[in-house]
Amino acid sequence: MALTMSYGRPQQGGKSRRLAQAEQGRARAEGETFRSQCWAWLKAHGWALLGLGATVVFLVAGVHAVRWAVHRPYFQIHRTVVTGALHQVDQALVAKMAQRIEGGLFTTDLVAAATELKSIPWVRSVHLRRVWPDTLEVQVEEQVPVAYWGDDDLLNTRGEVFAAEYLGNLPHFAGPRDTGPEVLQAWQRFNSILQPSGHRIEELTMSERGGWMLVLEDDSHWLLGRDQGAKRLSRLMAAWPVLRQDGAIPAGSTVDLRYPNGFAVHLPENDSQRKVSHDEK
């Protein structure tokens, strides 16, 4: 029995060794195949890979070189030129603030710099332009006032409200928020209609409900209402030659044009009311 057991164990161990050797052989074969494939890929793409690596190195070096160069004193801003038709803007103040802008010709934040310069009174817009090699050109658009707006502000030619000190002779406008362009257009339209009468508008007010009131240079107040203001004013101008001859609308009167077929005049002396029908005229 001892001899039989001793003989069977070597047979099982020999089979295991053969299996292990076979696995090792397959692993070596797979490794050789992988190395062959890698070597073939390198042969086919090696130069392209080398070129790509060289390009990356070149780009990184170039970026660092550019960063180094743009911060050299040669590219710092040494000169500031202010341009624009400026009458109210303090040109010296613009130049002084522009000279304090940080950065060089390539590193200056132009958007932030323009925003800071727009805070100067009477400046509407600012455009900055780099001029080689060390100059910053500051193009300034100045506010042009056409009227006073409300109690404290001014209105420019685009109907935009802005704040500035001004003592010139301008008409006075008032209206709800963001109605500057509409009020400006109405003033131009109404003044054009009034031109044959020789009157001009000194004050124009738009109510919260959209109604219009005109104050003329003779201190007369004309109420146009909310709708068809231009049409009502034109209707009065059609009858103006007769009204002027009769002295129907003296200075300081209040003219109410909100009637469908006529208008009412409140005389300043005794506050009496005279209603004249347009159809009758």
pLDDT of 141: 97
pLDDT over 50 (residue 277): no
122-134 average pLDDT score: 90
Alpha helix (H) ranges present in 142-179? none
pLDDT at 4 over 50: no
- Report the mean per-residue pLDDT for the chain: 82
- Cβ atoms of 203 and 183 within 8 Å: the answer is no
Residues 169-184 have a mean pLDDT of 97
Phi/psi region, residue 68 (left: phi>0; alpha: psi -120 to 50; beta: rest), is: alpha
pLDDT tens by residue, 207-231: 999 999 999 999 999 999 998 999 9
Query: Hunting for tokens 């170039």 — which residue is that?
Result: 62
Q: Which CATH number fits domain 146-277: 3.90.870.10, 3.90.1200.10, 3.90.440.10, 3.40.50.11690?
A: 3.40.50.11690
pTM of this structure: 0.69
Domain 75-142 in CATH 3.20.20.70? The answer is no
Is the pLDDT score of 41 beyond 90?
no
The ranges assigned to domains in the chain are 1-70, 75-142, 146-277
pLDDT of 253 > 50? The answer is yes
Instruction: Provide the 3-class DSSP secondary structure of residue 268.
Output: coil
What share of the chain in percent tops pLDDT 70? 74
